[in-house]
Amino acid sequence: MAVEAVKRAGQEEGQFEDTVVKVFRCSKVVKGGRRFSFAALVVVGDKAGTVGVGYGKANEVPPAVEKGIKDAKKCLHKIPLVGRTIPHQINGKYRATKITLVPASPGTGVIAGSSARAVLELAGVQDVLTKVYGSTSAKNVVKATLDGLVNLRSKEMAESLRGVKVEAVIKR
């Protein structure tokens, strides 16, 4: 569903960039020694508001990364952006991980750990502050960050959902 919306918006699959967040190695002890297999956590995005996360497993690293990229392109999400940052503060949650995403002023940059940074940069967010609470596992942090980004609402979305006009409140 999300992929079709992206393709209809004029995007082509060749425009997506990918980043390998982490490669996991698993071993199985057998009669002749150890057998290793690998899993890759991959993030795909166009740096313009579209991002997806994938996970691929294989007996070698390159096929695992390819499977992860293919998986990430299956579940792309459109993220609302306001200039270089996110529209409002939001909390993302996945299992034992909670992440707070706070919009930042221009020039701040992406203040985040490596797992959250991969998702935010490929989504197109350039100014944001983050804080992770609970588990800092790469899989959980990536999924919690994606949860926060997916739950963001632009001003227009909030107005249409509530049926009222939303005005910006300036705190002093």
Encode burial over 119-152: b for 16+ CB neighbours within 10 A, e otherwise. bbbbbbbbbbbbebeeeebbbbbbbbbbbbbeeb
Residues 55 and 27 in one domain: yes
Residues 6 and 37 in one domain: yes
Residues 43 and 103 in one domain: no
Structure tokens at 123: 């989504």
Is the pLDDT at 12 greater than 90? The verdict is no
pLDDT digits (tens, 9 = 90+) for 33-68: 999 999 999 999 999 999 999 999 999 999 999 999
Residues 97 and 150 in one domain: yes
In a domain, 115, yes or no: yes
Final residue in a domain of this structure, among 77, 98, 122? 77
Final residue in a domain of this structure, among 25, 59, 77? 77
Give all strands of the β-sheet with 128-134 in edge-to-edge order.
90-94, 97-103, 128-134, 110-111
CATH number at residue 25: 3.30.160.20
Domain carrying residue 123 = 80-160
Residues 34 and 98 in one domain: no
pLDDT digits (tens, 9 = 90+) for 110-132: 999 999 999 999 999 999 999 99
- Which pairing describes strands 33-45 and 17-30: parallel, antiparallel, or unpaired? antiparallel
Is the pLDDT at 8 greater than 50? The verdict is no
In a domain, 140, yes or no: yes
Residues 86 and 54 in one domain: no
Residues 48 and 60 in one domain: yes
Q: Taking the C-alpha atoms of 20, 148, 121 and 110 in order, what is their torsion angle to the nearest 10 degrees?
A: -120
Residues 12 and 67 in one domain: yes
Is the pLDDT at 4 greater than 60? The verdict is no
Number of domains in the chain: 2
Final residue in a domain of this structure, among 43, 59, 77? 77
- The pTM for the full model equals 0.85
Q: What are the φ/ψ torsions at residue 46 (nearest 5 degrees)? A: -110, 5
pLDDT digits (tens, 9 = 90+) for 94-113: 999 999 999 999 999 999 99
